[in-house]
Amino acid sequence: MFDCQLYLISPLDVSGTFPDRLARALDAGPVAAFQLRLKDVDAHEAARLAEPLQRICATREVAFIVNDSISLAKRLGADGVHLGQGDGAVADARAELGRDAQIGVTCHASRHLAMDAGEAGADYVAFGAFFPSPTKATEHRADLETLTWWQDIFEIPCVAIGGITPDNGRPLVEAGADFLAVSHAVWGGDETAAVKAFARILGGD
């Protein structure tokens, strides 16, 4: 049994029937967290889009994380925020969101950035991309050794991200990833089947 969990990241378009898709995905198997990733949307529209998704997560006890925006996470009362390297400091997020918020940091393939994030008080660090991703351009490529190195030395959880599918994800689990962060592998097809397939490689049913 591997101690690794699924971390879903939204597509950029969460309008229309997406709330129904999210509910189906969360009901299909264990999911630890859902990250709302929006680009070029103002705060009012983002809050409107977030409301049903946040409610779906809350009723299923799935952590609701906001990508990039500390201010939006605070406005929504989200469970946490995920920060890219240019999205603000961990200390600022902690001050705004409180000590119970989950704060994650993108660290690309850099051990140095991950150690800095851990020292700053991040709750998890994210390494990637591990594979080419259809969701976003991959400037940095991480390797399995980074996950093992982190797991051997640090207690802060690490997230693997970037082009992960049920077919290629098992080595990341074995290398020590605490979470697999996925988007297209779930939303690009049948979300129910995809979550069930991930559950199998994570040690689920």
DSSP state at residue 161:
E
Gap between the Cα atoms of 90 and 122, Å rounded: 6
- At 83, list the tokens: 């920060």
Burial of 136: CB neighbours in 10 Å, binned 0-12, 13-18, 19+: middle
- Rounded to whole angstroms, the Cα distance separating 69 from 76 reads 11
Cα 204 from Cα 5, distance rounded (Å): 9
Give the DSSP letter string of 76-100: HT-SEEEE-TTS--HHHHHHHH-TT
Give pLDDT tens digits along the chain (205 positions): 468 999 999 999 999 999 999 999 999 999 999 999 999 999 999 999 999 999 999 999 999 999 999 999 999 999 999 999 999 999 999 999 999 999 999 999 999 999 999 999 999 999 999 998 777 766 788 999 999 999 999 999 999 999 999 999 999 999 999 999 999 999 999 999 999 999 999 974 4
The single-letter DSSP state of residue 188 is T
Q: Which residue, 10, 117, 139, is CA-closest to 67?
A: 10
Full-model pTM: 0.96
* Helix (H), strand (E) at residue 18: helix 18-28
Q: Is the dihedral of CA 177, 179, 181, 187 positive or negative?
A: positive
66 Cβ contact list (under 8 Å, min separation 6): 35, 36, 50, 72, 73, 76, 78, 80, 81, 82
> Using an 8 Å Cβ cutoff, are 178 and 124 in contact?
yes
Element (H, E) at 200: helix 191-201
Helix (H/G/I), strand (E/B), else coil: 128: strand
Residue 1 has a CB neighbour count (10 Å cut-off) of 6
pLDDT of the residue at 2: 60
> Tokens for 44?
């009012």
